[in-house]
Amino acid sequence: MVLGHSHATSGALAWSGAAVALPVTVLTYPVVQEGTGHLGIVELLLGTFLTAGAALLPDADHPKSSIAHVLGPVSYVLCKIIAKLSGGHRKGTHSLLFVAVAFCATWAGVHWLGRPFALALVFFLLALAVRALHLGPGGDGVRAWGTVVVLAVCGTFVMDHWLADKPSFLPFVVALGALTHILGDCLTDRGCRLFWPLDFRVRLPIIDRTGNKIETWVISPLFVLGTLALLWYAITRQP
């Protein structure tokens, strides 16, 4: 597998790039936006962390992935169930169908369930980001996932003050994160069943071995630097 921190940093880079390149009507589709045509600074920064977390969602089909241990036994059991339902690793959750379902489910949750759903999703995605970006202790014990929970809860309480009742950019965040993950896995030799349930793998094997020093010490830091540069540009162009 591509490492969790690489997926997370690529998701953050994808969000910051989208925030610069795309109009707000795309980032918040299908909600009609009025006003400046730009996301606010809070949405830009929050979207970075949430997309980093969402970039781990497709690996919910793997009981040894970062997402499986983010909330301890609870997330592990859920990932075991998802792995069975999706047919195993890099199948159902590594497809364009999953991206579409994730987008629609998030939009429905935000639209029909409102703020409680949005805050629960923010908590979960922040927890994934904390885990993947190594902002807490490593390992799978209570100390590791307990720290993740505490940090995610604190972040959610902070965001509760700034977040809109129905944050319209959340569906885009979830879909973009998932899509970034899947495209990254398509760069490995195993590829992904992008058009699942069709038994056809899309692959462009330019990554021969994951977890090497180049990925850890060159690619991921470049993703971070690129994200910071794009966010700085997006923030400084605010009206």
CA dihedral 178, 181, 186, 188 (to 10 degrees): -160
Q: For residues 100 and 132, what is the distance between their CA atoms, to the nearest angstrom?
A: 23
Contact 126, 53 (CB under 8 A): yes
Instruction: Provide mean pLDDT across the span 217-236.
Output: 89
Peptide bond into 30 cis (omega under 30): yes
Q: For residues 56 and 48, what is the distance between their CA atoms, to the nearest angstrom?
A: 13
Please tell me the pTM assigned to this model.
0.91
What percentage of residues in the chain have a pLDDT greater than 90? 51
Q: For residues 126 and 151, what is the distance between their CA atoms, to the nearest angstrom?
A: 8
Evaluated on CA atoms 55, 176, 35, 38, the torsion sign reads positive
Give tens-digit pLDDT for 6-60: 899 999 999 999 999 888 778 877 654 444 456 788 889 999 999 999 999 999 9
Tell me the residue type at 231.
Answer: L
Facing residues of 192 across strands? 202
